[in-house]
Amino acid sequence: MDLSIIIVNYNTRALTTQTVRTVLETTSGIDYEIIVVDNSSKEKEYFTSENSRVKVLSGVENKGFGHACNIGTNVAIGRYILYLNSDVIMQNGTLRGAVEYMDKHGDIGCLGIRTVLKDGTFDHGCKRGFPTPFNSLCYVLRLDKLFPKVKKFGGYTLSYLSNEETNQVDSVSGAFMLIPRAVLNKTGLFDESIFMYGEDIDLCYRIKQAGFKVVYYADVWMIHLKGQSGLHTKSPVVIKHFHDGIKRFYDMYYKDKHSFIVTFLMHSAINIRYAVTLLRSKLSR
């Protein structure tokens, strides 16, 4: 089988149903399966499907996004594994195009695609650099906005790279991560100690460490309904997991490379951002 598509359904039945439907309606020319890992906490949000391509793993304990994806990966039979968010709308030929591109480039360890939001704006999460201390500082100071074409200042958002051109990047979004099974066999799966957010950057980091490329592929695309799930739900629990994931990634890969002062400043910046984001979410309710 060419492709195993893994989708996590956590209390997003309507969105997951829409995502699965758009995959089925727009995908042909490849042999694929859809695996929905259902760790919903509400019975009315449980996902069901009668389509023979769709396998539902129900009753999974919610131990985070990576844990659910790993469960799906362990039963997948595809040459490629696609981790796909439950809040996306697939476009005609996107999955076939992505698989065919991977088949032609055996040195790619992870592929992300051009992703736009519901209003048509570009979702910058689909091509990123690693959040090093310097990249993070430039991002916080918005230097990438002031000098979008300056490579030194755009290290995190990669603002100097055209959204319309395929390029090597550091990381792509967990909303769409296409990875050869053979690569996962070498790097391991998602780090389950990261409950939610940051696990995509961590896996991309390990893929690059193993000598493979991470690529942003601009020739195919999808829509990401980003405001309807995840961080944009303004859930205090989700906001906490997001900032915990950022901190854990820094501690795993950068803490030992920098002084105590740099680490203190990074942790402080993350904590301040967490407090501000939490306050904004409360005020907007």
141 inside domain: no
| 24 within a domain of the structure (yes/no) | yes
Six-digit token pair at 109?
């360890």
Residue with tokens 């476009």: 91
Q: Give the residue ranges of the chain where pLDDT is below 70.
A: 227-234, 241, 283-285
pLDDT of residue 246: 77
Q: What interhelical angle do 199-209 and 236-253 show, nearest 10?
A: 20
Q: What is the structure's pLDDT at 150? A: 95
User: Would residue 167 count as lying in a domain?
Assistant: yes
pLDDT at 260: 83
Q: Please report the pLDDT score of residue 97 as a whole number.
A: 98
User: Pick from 145, 155, 161, 74: which is nearest to 112 by CA?
Assistant: 161
* Residue 255 confidence (pLDDT): 79
Q: What is the CATH number of the domain that holds 275?
A: 3.90.550.10
Does residue 156 lie in a domain region? Answer: no
- Pull the structure tokens for residue 99: 């698989």
Instruction: Give domain status of residue 56, yes or no.
Output: yes
- Return the pLDDT at 195: 83
Look at residue 258 in the predicted model and tell me its pLDDT.
Answer: 80
Q: Tokens representing 126?
A: 């689909």
> For residue 136, what pLDDT is reported?
85
Residue-range definition of the domain harbouring residue 118: 3-127+163-283
* Total of domains in the chain: 1
**Is residue 147 domain-resident?**
no
What is the structure's pLDDT at 229? 53
Confidence (pLDDT) at 226: 80
pLDDT in the model for residue 243: 75
How far is CA 224 from each of CA 120, 124, 275, 276, 280, rounded to the nearest angstrom? 10, 11, 26, 25, 23
Q: What does the pLDDT read at residue 278?
A: 74
What local confidence, expressed as pLDDT, does residue 285 receive?
60
